[in-house]
Structure 1
Amino acid sequence: MQVQLRRPLKVYPGCYFYLYFPFAPFRFMIRGYPMNVAWWNVADAEGSGYSSELLFLMHRRGTISNIAERDGGFRKTFLDGPYEQNLSLQEYENVILTAKGPGIVGVLPHALHLAGRRLHDDRQRMGAPSSRTLHRGKTRKVDLFWILEDNSQQRWLHTELRIL
């Protein structure tokens, strides 16, 4: 589910939101669904951490997808958050991220964050005009291992992995 925000929010790896669906039946409307952000707009977030577009990964079958079907798509979604769990991976030289199946949602933002910091620093060193300073993270190498439970899972984040 791709969510377009009215104003940019600070997004960081490990953050999650509670999603509320106002067009759902009442018992689902008042209950928030916690979801990790799987991806955000890298061009917006590079260096600043702010993004106006978020991507959440969810199953095709289940409560939330049933609500979307009844609604004809997510016309309006309310977000509560972001809530955080900052692991500060930029403080380590070698980072190994592992995931199995849908667990990729938990580790992909960390890889995106580290890559965005590195891209920002590289552009600053090349002389790109900006008022921001260098991040100077310690990370030199990031390995991402994703074990697929089914070959169809590689389509979930095909575009995002190419961008990364």
Structure 2
Amino acid sequence: MAVTFACEAVLVLVRNGWSFRKRSRVTVTSLCGMLKLKVHLCKPLKIEPGQYINLWMPSVGLGAFWQNHPFMVASWSTEAQECLEIFIQPRRGLTRDLLHIARPNGPFECKWAMFSGPHGHTVPVGQYETVVLIADGVGIASQVPYLKKLIHGYHHRRVVTRRIHLIWQISDI
């Protein structure tokens, strides 16, 4: 277990930059009670639909120093990305703190952030003729990468998908 932890710690340091001159940072914007995070990476990273990162932003506040959160990545590209987009419905703890910081001052930049990942597996939905995607509220952000990849695959004749049904339940408008 100690070896696994050490390997994970080294991987996190490599992905987030060894030096303090160039490191990962996060821009937080409040959008009608929601949060949009842009994670600016030191090194490009390939993310597949359905994958998430664990994000640690100690400069947000004292309590945030001890918290890291898993967040679903909403952006997708055929190439490795230098900037990841994340959408959040604030609840308690770190996400509520981020909402309070971002709201009064416009976009907030967290200059010291680290992440681990990507974690999780993608579902190969392009092998099905019909795909049904279901989302609730901000959960739509986790479906967007699948939509982008399916549309890209369709245009480049890499998927067999011909129909996509998107079911999105919205509680508040």
| Alpha-carbon distance, 1:140 to partner | 1.6
- Check if 1:109 corresponds to 2:145: yes
| Alpha-carbon distance, 1:107 to partner | 1.9
Structure 1 Cα separation of the partners of residues 167 and 128 of structure 2: 18
Distance 1:113 1:14, change over 3 A: same
Indicate which of 75, 87, 104 corresponds to 1:57. 87
- Check if 1:85 corresponds to 2:121: yes
- Check if 1:23 corresponds to 2:54: no
| Alpha-carbon distance, 1:59 to partner | 2.7
* Residue of structure 2 in register with 1:139 after alignment: 161
- Check if 1:12 corresponds to 2:12: no
Distance 1:85 1:5, change over 3 A: same
Identity of aligned residues (%): 26
| Alpha-carbon distance, 1:75 to partner | 2.5
* Residue of structure 1 in register with 2:33 after alignment: none
* Residue of structure 1 in register with 2:97 after alignment: 66
- Structure with more strand by fraction: 2
Structure-1-length-normalised TM-score: 0.68
| Alpha-carbon distance, 1:73 to partner | 3.4
Q: Counterpart amino acid of 2:170? A: L
Aligned length: 131
Structure-2-length-normalised TM-score: 0.65
Structure 2 Cα separation of the partners of residues 73 and 5 of structure 1: 13
- Check if 1:36 corresponds to 2:72: yes
Residue segments in structure 2 that go unaligned for 5+ positions in a row: 1-36
| Alpha-carbon distance, 1:67 to partner | 4.5
Query: What SS does the aligned partner of 2:67 have?
Result: coil
Query: What SS does the aligned partner of 1:98 have?
Result: strand
